[in-house]
């Protein structure tokens, strides 16, 4: 990879020095950490067998998570279209392009949980904050992909349709949409799958879904129920990924 | 699916879709809208919360401005801690994800049982969010950066392992065969036939994951697993909004910087 042996060895040494420095600067309570191994065994022992006794809570939470993901993906898909078009350099005017790109970057930087906290402050506890959080992140993700897709289009078709004297709507309908649609649908389906994954975690700050149930069970040391929830989440994510792969392979 | 080429059904006007395609297209639209409305409807959203939302939002913004610059000196250390958590966590991932990826790739695994075990480990690791791993490791190691490091590592193993396993499955079999033909042991085949071919992919994904991990480690503090999140959470809970806004600005800077570094490094590698 790196031809020069001095640089190669130097990088390894630099990595080791960094490791020492960072381990020193982190305030680690080693006595507490060394107690971790027996505690891990204890927690693991209490996790088995998983307790599916309160399956109603489990089903309700899971259903809420899935509904949040579906609603957020749909809203994100719709909102991403205008934002994506505005964020494409080759068809949007410069100020519009810059504004749209700023929106996309701003909403991408902050982790979902930080965004969720603010929506919880504004809209109160419950799935509403979760839906809005996931909508925001889906919008920025899909519109970024859409904008890049439009920017990568060959200029020939764009020029050809413009040369017919097409209006902007006709231009979008006959030039942009046929070229961007397959990938846009693929990205949206991928986002649905990602939203299912993220919907399991926004609940930790009170934004609804299965995450809320999980956080509650963890804080009550109710580990066998936590394990049941974790297993449910894993199978849900697995199913979502399977579904998204299947749809995307059919789209191609 | 719906992107069939145009057909000339009636002679006078050109249409992109023939009637049958149009009906199928609208059926798709209606069913997607139907599912979305069903989902939103079932969530029991109290819509009247939207009535005063803009007032609440405005109130927050007014309280957040201007950022409390005096607070900046306290932010430096937790920000560094956030970066350390992400970096060390990603480093640990490298060593754990690697053997699992070999188990999970069809052409390097021992038999179908080990393949299944490898795949299960990767799926399990990937399905559990970093913050949920954080909850678990805080229960084990107590609050602090150690829990955060392991949370980052455990979530990244699935991500790295999956991509590396895919890269291993796509390697050039000729080189491997050539090395096998020299009578090399299994370990030698791994290190001279397979490893050199997947190393660029590994470095690329490692740097990419590091960038994601920086973002993830900014919120690990919410469950007590170290980093800037601890301060952010406590400022929010004490309604110190001017501290919150400064913290958010600093998080924004760090995340942008990591994204920039990762993009530059990946450009160099590929």
Residue B51 domain-assigned (yes or no) = no
Residues of chain A with pLDDT under 70: 1-3, 252
Cβ contact (<8 Å) for B131 and A113? yes
Task: Give the per-residue pLDDT at B7.
Answer: 53
- The whole model's pTM is what? 0.83
Domain enclosing residue B245, as ranges: 75-269
Task: Over range B223-230, report the average pLDDT.
Answer: 86
For chain B, what's the residue count? 270
Task: Over range B73-87, report the average pLDDT.
Answer: 89
Same domain, B25 and B83: no
Going by pLDDT thresholds of 50, 70 and 90, the confidence category of residue B73 is confident
Residue B63 domain-assigned (yes or no) = no
CB-nearest to B146 from A28, A64, A215 is A28
Q: Greater confidence, B19 or A141?
A: A141
Same domain, B133 and B263: yes
Same domain, B27 and B80: no
Task: Give the per-residue pLDDT at B155.
Answer: 92
Same domain, B16 and B115: no
Task: Over range B126-153, report the average pLDDT.
Answer: 88
Question: Does the pLDDT at position B103 exceed 90?
Answer: no
Cβ contact (<8 Å) for A36 and B42? no
Residue B9 domain-assigned (yes or no) = yes
Residue B143 domain-assigned (yes or no) = yes
Same domain, B122 and B242: yes
Residue B196 domain-assigned (yes or no) = yes
CB neighbour burial string for A148-171, b if at least 16 within 10 angstroms, e if fewer: ebbeebeeeebeebeeeeeeeeeb
Express each pLDDT in B177-205 by its tens digit: 888 888 888 888 888 888 888 888 888 88
Looking at the structure of chain B, the number of domains it has is 2
Cβ contact (<8 Å) for A33 and B146? yes
Task: Over range B97-125, report the average pLDDT.
Answer: 86
A98 vs chain B: nearest CA distance in angstroms? 17
Q: Which structural domains are found in chain A, ordered by start?
A: 55-251 (1.10.3720.10)
The four Cα atoms A44, A46, A51, A54 give a dihedral, to 10 degrees, of -120
Q: Residue B83's closest CA among B176, B186, B213, B185?
A: B213
Same domain, B86 and B192: yes
**Chain A partners within 8 Å of B38 (Cβ):** 67
Same domain, B190 and B107: yes
CB A214 within 8 A of CB A80: no
Least confident of A57-71, A172-186, B3-17, B236-250: B3-17
Residue B38 domain-assigned (yes or no) = no
Q: What percent of chain B has pLDDT over 70?
A: 95
């Amino acid at each position: 990879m790196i031809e020069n042996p001095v640089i190669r060895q130097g990088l390894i040494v630099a990595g080791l020095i960094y490791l020492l420095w960072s381990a020193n600067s982190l305030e680690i309570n080693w006595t507490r950490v060394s107690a971790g191994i027996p505690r891990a065994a204890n927690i693991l022992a209490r996790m088995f067998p998983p307790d599916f006794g309160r399956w109603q809570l489990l089903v309700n939470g899971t259903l809420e998570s899935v509904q949040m993901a579906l609603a957020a993906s749909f809203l994100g898909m719709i909102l991403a279209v205008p934002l994506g078009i505005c964020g494409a350099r080759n068809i949007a005017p410069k100020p519009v392009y810059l504004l749209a790109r700023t929106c996309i970057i701003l909403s991408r930087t902050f982790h979902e949980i930080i965004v969720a906290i603010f929506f919880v402050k504004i809209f109160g506890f419950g799935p509403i904050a979760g839906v809005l959080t996931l909508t925001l992140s889906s919008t920025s993700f899909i519109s970024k992909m859409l904008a890049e897709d439009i920017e990568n289009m060959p200029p020939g078709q764009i020029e050809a349709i413009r040369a017919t004297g097409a209006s902007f709507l006709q231009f979008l309908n006959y030039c942009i949409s046929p070229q961007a649609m397959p990938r846009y649908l693929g990205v949206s389906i991928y986002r649905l799958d990602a939203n299912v994954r993220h919907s399991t975690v926004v609940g930790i700050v009170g934004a609804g879904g299965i995450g809320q149930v999980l956080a509650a069970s963890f804080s009550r040391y109710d580990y066998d129920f936590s394990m049941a929830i974790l297993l449910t989440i894993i199978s849900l994510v697995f199913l979502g990924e399977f579904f998204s792969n299947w749809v995307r392979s059919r789209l191609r | 699916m719906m992107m069939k080429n145009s057909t000339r059904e009636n002679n006078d006007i050109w249409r992109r879709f023939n009637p049958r395609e149009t009906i199928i297209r609208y059926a798709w639209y209606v069913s997607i809208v139907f599912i979305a409305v069903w989902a939103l409807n079932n969530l029991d959203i109290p819509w009247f919360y939207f009535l005063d939302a803009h007032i609440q939002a405005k109130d927050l913004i007014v309280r957040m401005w201007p950022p409390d610059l005096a607070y900046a000196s306290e932010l430096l250390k937790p920000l560094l801690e956030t970066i350390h958590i992400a970096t060390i966590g990603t480093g640990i991932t490298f060593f754990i994800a690697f053997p699992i990826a070999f188990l999970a790739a069809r052409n390097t695994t021992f038999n179908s049982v080990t393949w299944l075990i490898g795949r299960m480990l990767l799926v399990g690791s990937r399905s559990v969010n970093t913050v949920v791993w954080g909850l678990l490791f805080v229960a084990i190691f107590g609050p602090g950066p150690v829990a955060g490091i392991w949370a980052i590592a455990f979530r990244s193993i699935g991500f790295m392992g999956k991509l590396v396993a895919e890269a291993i499955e796509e390697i050039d079999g000729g080189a491997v065969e050539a090395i096998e033909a020299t009578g090399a042991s299994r370990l030698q085949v791994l290190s001279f036939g397979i490893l050199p071919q997947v190393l660029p992919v590994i470095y690329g994904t490692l740097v990419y994951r590091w960038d994601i991990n920086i973002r993830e480690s900014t919120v690990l503090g919410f469950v007590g697993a170290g980093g800037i999140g601890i301060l952010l959470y406590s400022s929010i809970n004490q309604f110190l909004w001017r501290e919150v806004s400064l913290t958010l600005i600093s998080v924004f800077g760090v995340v942008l910087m990591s994204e920039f570094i990762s993009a530059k490094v990946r450009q160099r590698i590929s």
